[in-house]
Structure 1
Amino acid sequence: MRRAGRLPLASVVRSLLRVPCRPSSREGRPPAPLGARILTNPDHIFQHNMWDHVQWSEEDKENARQKVEKNSSVRIPPEEQVNYDRNAHLYWDGFYEMHQNKFFKDRTWLFQEFPELLSAGPAPPCGGASAPQLRDTAEGESLGDCEGGGRREGGETGSQAGAFPGSEADFRILEVGCGAGNSVFPILSSINSGTFLYCCDFSPRAVQLVKAHPAYDPSLCHTFVQDVCEEASLFPFPPGSLNVILLIFVLSSIHPERMQGVLNRLSQYLKPGGMFLFRDYGRYDLSQLRFKTGRCLSENFYSRGDGTCVYFFTKDEVHHLFTSAGLKEVQNLEDRRLQVNRRKKVVMRRVWMQSKYQKPL
């Protein structure tokens, strides 16, 4: 039986012939953000590992909808669901204990899609300058990234507006759900002396892995265990002190009922003009279609075999979450790609969300 989400080549070619792959300027989506490798000739489909800005036909959307309807038809019983929320940090600790820092690749694409990480100025509007090529391999296909949480290390509190880690920096970045450091170390290798990076995770094991990395530099980075879902949680920096908050495959691992509260609290730590940079799973991504019946917690929210959880977003949902936190949209894109296994001649559809939201001046 063919695995859910893997597409027969003939079906993909027919879809590509029906629907133009090059993004239309009338849609307001420029070719530069999210990559510029456009498949214009279906005969060339196996020349690269990934194709950007792939359009879906109505038939493609309906097939995906039916697969999701099927794998969501049986829900995990409510009395069992509470364990996934209560023990989330234990599941992620187990994940990092097993995989260490070898599961995810370093995100060398970060500065191509998020140049705001290297600049204190406002982000360019959607369609502004951006590197033309992302990367050839998929991000977060199997298990995604983690959410950030747990108990905080150290004695600092967010109310200490005087001396705090990074207080002398001109530009401050927070990554929520840093995992084993796949964003941390590309950022540390690129920032200047006037920038300070904070990174947190609710898995103590993940934080240990970051601190043990040979490239970790406490003069440029402060890493701590933190549960961003806790309403009373305090950060080691004061409100209004951050230029950028980075959320990469992290919000999807938080229970949907907690997401709005997390964004509301985090937004308080942004400076006016500060920016949320967001990338996460999109609705009908391959990884959603692959779930078997009986793994669904609630609508578009699933538990993986290792106990970690994942949600799949739409553009409208992303927009509602961030604007409800008082933020202004700068970019909100749906990243649809064809991921290609050239050896097995298999084509898979990937869907991610990428967004930038700014705190009003």
Structure 2
Amino acid sequence: HENRFFKDRHWLFTEFPELAPQCSLNNDSHPQVSGADDSQQDSLEREQRIDVAALSLTDDDAPGSSATYRILEVGCGVGNTVFPILKTNNDPGLFVYCCDFSSTAVELVKTNPEYDPGRCLAFVHDLSDVEANYPVHDGTLDVIVLIFVLSALHPDKMQASIRRLARLLKPGGVMLLRDYGRYDMAQLRFKKGRCLSENFYVRGDGTRVYFFTQDELHEMFTEAGLEKVQNLVDRRLQVNRGKQLTMYRVWIQCKYRKAPVQPAKTEG
């Protein structure tokens, strides 16, 4: 539903440099999410990445088992994020997992000429089914991407889904989210009969959408054991000159990290 605006995915690597770290070493556009000890942090995460890659995956035949940098995109659609990642991130140790609820969308990803089974695995998955297995072990992913997907779940299913995803992250791994914010133009344009529950609506095509606040997302991620790196509102004025419409968009962008080093347990 944001297809036109997001067709040019250049924003992806500006906002989420974690998707292609080697391309953004000189990117100072977001100093607010950097820390003084970033180089130490990167070094630590690289060591952890190698350790986890060596120790965690015992099934050598599993897709991506020899990878040193693993990304999972949930709700990949037809690959508008996956293929730019594969094209931009030239890390030989990269492996991208991507899933979607729609088997048709996954089939379109797999039949795309840019799909490389040596670097990518597309699979059908229902994010709201927390019992369903992922093709990766817990504690092995560097990055999880959720772009306009969490909002499609029933609010009652969101927390458990985030908790399940958080288990897949390795220490130091990050979850990246971009989704609809409260009072986005799309919310204000819904007719009364389209509201399923507070801030949760059904579109004409039957798909559902929730409009978040920053606090709601913060609570969800921290309850899943993740630490805030970034939680901001992106407000934009979109002008459709053809229809002479001015649209006020509200999106929320989040980065939450699993603690790089788990605290040591004291006995007694």
Aligned match of 1:284: 183
Of 56, 61, 74, the residue aligned with 1:176 is: 74
Aligned match of 1:118: 20
Compared CA separation, residues 279 and 290, structure 1 to 2 (3 A): same
d(CA) in 2 for partners of 1:326, 1:103: 33
d(CA) in 1 for partners of 2:97, 2:150: 17
How many residues align? The count is: 233
More strand by share: 2
Aligned match of 1:197: 96
Of 2, 10, 27, the residue aligned with 1:108 is: 10
Give me the identity figure in percent: 60
TM-score, normalisation: structure 1: 0.61
Aligned match of 1:322: 221
User: Which structure has the bigger radius of gyration?
Assistant: 1
Pairwise CA RMSD: 2.5
CA contact (8 A) 2:57 2:65 kept: no
SS of residue matched to 2:138: coil
Is 1:312 paired with 2:211?
yes
**Runs in 1 of length 4+ with deviation above 6 angstroms?**
101-104
CA contact (8 A) 1:200 1:224 kept: yes
1:296 Cα deviation after fit: 0.7
Compared CA separation, residues 304 and 176, structure 1 to 2 (3 A): same
* Aligned-partner residue type, residue 112 of structure 1: T
CA contact (8 A) 2:100 2:123 kept: yes
CA contact (8 A) 1:106 1:183 kept: no
Deviations 1:315-357 (A, max 9, x none): 1111111011000000000111111123444321100000100
TM-score, normalisation: structure 2: 0.81
Of 236, 258, 263, the residue aligned with 1:337 is: 236
The answer for unaligned runs of 5 or more in structure 2 is 35-55, 261-268
Deviations 1:149-180 (A, max 9, x none): xxxxxxxxxx9742221111110000000011
Aligned match of 2:52: none
d(CA) in 2 for partners of 1:259, 1:118: 27
* Aligned-partner residue type, residue 32 of structure 2: G
d(CA) in 2 for partners of 1:343, 1:116: 37
Aligned match of 2:64: 166
The answer for unaligned runs of 5 or more in structure 1 is 1-94, 96-100, 130-158
Deviations 1:275-324 (A, max 9, x none): 00100000000110111110111100000011000000011111111011
Aligned match of 1:127: 32
* Aligned-partner residue type, residue 199 of structure 2: N
Q: Which has the higher contact order (CA 8 A, sep 6+)?
A: 1
d(CA) in 2 for partners of 1:343, 1:197: 38
CA contact (8 A) 1:161 1:237 kept: no
